[in-house]
């Protein structure tokens, strides 16, 4: 066999692997609950967990923050759904989520929050304070919770925080289209 003949399959395999890897990293559109819930995320968010069968369903994204490298802290966004029997069950879905939030260590409501459609609060994880932003909505008979949480680190630039918050708001807005 000629050496060039061996290079072609290896090059093809390398190209196929690189293409698949690039495609996997570039996924920005997701759906849960048999398509009842659709949303869009920024391309640099990495899905670290997906559960798209049964009830509840969820996707968790890790959001890159250079200030968290080398630490146990991470910024993340979770989209979690639960099938509800009717729209009447939505209030208990939200109430249950609020109660779970209040049970977290260091829970403190964010009194500066001006957006009544968002539950903003602080929690403490491993001695680090986090800002958490929870949004809720109904899509058909599916309750949706979007939780955006980021550590409050001095090394994180304000621009990154603003970009993270805008990304979270855009995920919620993308569900309403």
Tens of pLDDT, residue by residue over 131-140, are 999 999 999 8
Average the pLDDT over 8-22 and give the result: 44
- Of the two residues 88 and 145, the one the predictor is more confident about is 145
pLDDT interval class at 5 (50, 70, 90): low
Res 17: pLDDT: 42
Neighbours of 24 (CB within 10 A): 10
Q: Is the pLDDT of residue 9 over 50?
A: no
Mean pLDDT to the nearest integer, 60-80: 94
Given this model, what pLDDT does residue 22 score? 46
Sign of CA dihedral 152, 150, 103, 97: positive
Which pairs with CB-CB distance under 8 Å and at least 24 residues apart come from 60-63? 63/150, 63/164, 63/167
Residue 130, token pair as written in the block? 């986090």
Q: What is the pLDDT of residue 4?
A: 52
pLDDT at 15 over 80: no
pLDDT of residue 153: 93
Tell me which residue of 123, 131, 127, 137 sits closest to 172, measured CA to CA: 137
* Domain spans of the chain, in order of start: 29-175
Q: Which pLDDT does position 14 carry in this prediction?
A: 43
The encoded tokens of residue 113 equal 């929050």
Architecture category of domain 29-175 in CATH? 3-Layer(aba) Sandwich (3.40)
**Mean pLDDT for the chain?**
87
Look at residue 151 in the predicted model and tell me its pLDDT: 96
Q: According to the model, what pLDDT value does residue 20 have?
A: 46
CA distances from 142 to 57, 118, 119, 154 (A): 10, 18, 19, 38
């Amino acid at each position: 066999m000629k050496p060039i003949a061996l290079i072609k399959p290896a090059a093809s395999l390398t190209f196929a692997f690189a293409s698949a890897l690039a495609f996997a990293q570039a996924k920005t559109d997701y759906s849960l609950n048999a398509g009842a819930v659709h949303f869009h995320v920024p391309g640099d968010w990495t899905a670290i967990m997906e559960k798209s069968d049964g009830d509840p369903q969820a996707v968790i994204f890790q959001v890159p923050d250079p200030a968290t490298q080398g630490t146990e802290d991470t910024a993340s966004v979770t989209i979690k759904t639960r099938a509800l029997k009717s729209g009447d069950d939505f209030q208990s879905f939200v109430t249950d989520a609020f109660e779970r939030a209040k049970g977290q260590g260091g829970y403190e409501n964010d009194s500066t929050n001006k957006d009544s459609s968002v539950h903003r609060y602080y929690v403490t994880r491993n001695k680090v304070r986090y800002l958490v932003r929870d949004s809720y909505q109904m899509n058909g008979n599916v309750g949706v919770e979007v939780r955006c949480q980021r550590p409050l680190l001095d090394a994180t630039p304000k621009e990154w925080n603003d970009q993270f918050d805008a990304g979270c708001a855009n995920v919620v807005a993308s569900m309403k289209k």
